[in-house]
Structure 1
């Protein structure tokens, strides 16, 4: 696992990202934060094409997939753990952020 010091990501999350990108080397996952959610900020993940990566973005390589993150979001995500659970109830990507001081019940929004 590379980029441990920036975002830690589990093997199950890497496998799901690879599946979402449909094994296409030109499709990547953008991860970041935006205003919103019940705690103030919320996480987001979007599919992006290679040409949508900005020069100021950080490109994090994890085995066969890449996470793209803008520099503002990276300040809030530094040291975060990203996991994926395939369970029917409570499944999906899990954000475990040591920088968060307040987290909503669903775990999708936080505050610092």
Structure 2
């Protein structure tokens, strides 16, 4: 649910229960207050397809962030990144290639072979 600005459900960022659980464990492990701190999801230039995802923990949101909360995890997204990742789902996957967070983005028209970068 968005708590800052107005976002319709088509552009909302969703989070799977497993991704939220993993991120909250990491946040708590860093000693961060999960009532205020959150996971920043952003897009940056780079990768073989042109854009790549970035994630980091932030102690609090920036003034112009969209803030989403799912399964007690707060997600912060800046307006520029929102243009590329609106409607995405953050998930956590494990497997032979290693465990990690994965963004399921409906805006992607192509991805690189390793899945680390994309184009909209």
Give the TM-score range, shorter chain: 0.7 to 0.9
Equivalences for residues 26-65 of structure 1 within 5 A:
26-50=36-60, 53-65=61-73
**Corresponding position of 2:16:** 10
Alpha-carbon offset, residue 64 of structure 1? 1.3
More deviation in 26-35 or 86-95?
86-95
Root-mean-square deviation over aligned CA pairs: 1.7
Considering fraction of residues, name the structure with more strand: 1
**Corresponding position of 2:33:** 24
Give aligned pairs, total. Answer: 109
In 1, distance between residues paired with 2:113 and 2:14? 22
TM-score computed with the length of structure 2 as normaliser: 0.81
> Which one of 91, 102, 106 corresponds to residue 99 of structure 2?
91
| Gaps in structure 1 of 5+ consecutive residues | none
| Gaps in structure 2 of 5+ consecutive residues | 3-8
Task: Tell me, yes or no, if the aligned pair for 1:82 and 1:95 is still in contact at 8 Å.
Answer: yes
Deviations 1:2-44 (A, max 9, x none): 4654112211111111112117324311001000011000000
TM-score computed with the length of structure 1 as normaliser: 0.86
More deviation in 86-95 or 55-64?
86-95
